[in-house]
Amino acid sequence: MARAKKKIKVFDELKGALEDALRYEKGGRVDLRVTELPPAPRKFPPREIRRIRQSLNASQARFARFLNVSANTVESWEQGTRQPQHAALKLLSIARKRPSVLLED
C-alpha cells in the first residue's frame, strides 16, 4: 500500500512542477529558483595561446604544468593541431585576464 501512495506523491509533485513551469513560461509569478550559467569559454586561436604563455615568460613545459596538461598538448595547441577543451579553456580565459593567478600557490 505504501508503494501506491509514493506513486501518487511523485505524480502530484511532477504535476505541480509542470504547472509552475507553464506559469513561468507565460510570465506568471512563480516561486522558482532560477540559475543562469555563464557562457562557455570562447575558443582560443594558437597565436593567442602562445601570447598567454609568453606573457608568463614560461616555456611550453612550464606552462603545461600551470594548466595541468602535458607539454605535447601545449605544443599541439600552439601549432593548431588540437584545441583546448573544457577546463583548459576556462584556465586559459583566467590566464588571459589575470596571468599572475596561475603563479599563485
The CATH number for 67's domain is 1.10.260.40
The pLDDT mean for the chain works out to: 88
63 in any annotated domain:
yes
Q: Flag whether pLDDT at 8 surpasses 80.
A: no
- What is the SS3 assignment for 68? coil
**pLDDT band, very low/low/confident/very high, at 3 (cuts 50, 70, 90):** low
Domain extent at residue 2: 1-36
Looking at the domain assignment, is residue 41 inside a domain?
no
Task: List pLDDT tens digits, range 45-59.
Answer: 999 999 999 999 999
Of residues 40 and 79, more confidence is placed in 79
Helices and strands counted in the chain (H then E): 5, 0
Are both 25 and 57 inside the same structural domain? no
Tell me what percent of the residues of the chain surpass a pLDDT of 70. Answer: 90
Dist. CA 46–CA 43, nearest whole Å? 10
The whole-number pLDDT of residue 102 equals 82
Contact 63, 56 (CB under 8 A): yes
Q: Determine, yes or no, domain membership for 24.
A: yes
pLDDT of 61 above 70? yes
